[in-house]
Amino acid sequence: MDPEEQELLGDYRYRNYSSAIEKALRNFESSSEWADLISSLGKLNKALQSNLKYSLLPRRLIISKRLSQCLHPALPSGVHLKALETYEIIFKIIGTKWLAKDLFLYSSGLFPLLANAAMSVRPVLLGLYEKYFLPLQKSLLPGLQAFVIGLLPGLEEGSEIYDR
């Protein structure tokens, strides 16, 4: 546990925020079909936005695992888009400092997605890469190989995203 997180655990508002996120994460446990996942992601989004004061997210590992599960290739593009919306909310909250520190958490679900993503998902995913990952510059180096490997299969010459 980070020293900053230890310090935040003394703040009752952060503990309430953590409880709200834990409650939202419990919804995933009872999800049995893709529509339930979209609903669970919506509740997680609401919980994440309930307190924008803290740039350090509680339960980061569990959040990243759930988001990665929502990006499974067998799920429909609606679930992928909702998960990408959640990633964007998270990246806005945590900023580049925590994204660089927790790169391995969030990249595990995002980097493999492009190869199997629907055409409607690809521009949104590339937008996340451009807006949040490329500004990391040297901080992206530990995950650069995975980033490039994730990009290459999704690029087809002549497609809309090829030029991007």
Q: Which DSSP symbol is given to 119?
A: T
Phi-psi region for residue 51, left (φ > 0), alpha (ψ -120 to 50) or beta? beta
d(CA 164, CA 159): 10
Residue 1 pLDDT: 63
pLDDT tens per residue, range 123-157: 999 999 999 999 999 999 999 999 999 888 777 65
Q: Which two tokens stand for residue 28?
A: 């995933």
Q: Which DSSP symbol is given to 114?
A: G
Residues in the chain: 164
Residue 152 pLDDT: 85
Q: What's this model's pTM, rounded to 2 decimal places?
A: 0.92
pLDDT tens per residue, range 104-115: 999 999 999 998
Closest to 96 in 3D by CA, of 55, 48, 46: 55
Give the list of residues 6+ apart from residue 35 with CB closer than 8 angstroms, or none.
none
Residue 158 pLDDT: 58
DSSP assignment string, 38-102 = HHHHHHHHHHHTT-TT-SSPTTHHHHHHHHHHHT-TTS-HHHHHHHHHHHHHHHHHHHHHHHHHT
If you search the block for the tokens 């959040």, which residue do you land on?
63
pLDDT tens per residue, range 8-51: 888 889 999 999 999 999 999 998 899 999 999 999 999 999 98
Residue 11 pLDDT: 83
Give the list of residues 6+ apart from residue 46 with CB closer than 8 angstroms, or none.
24
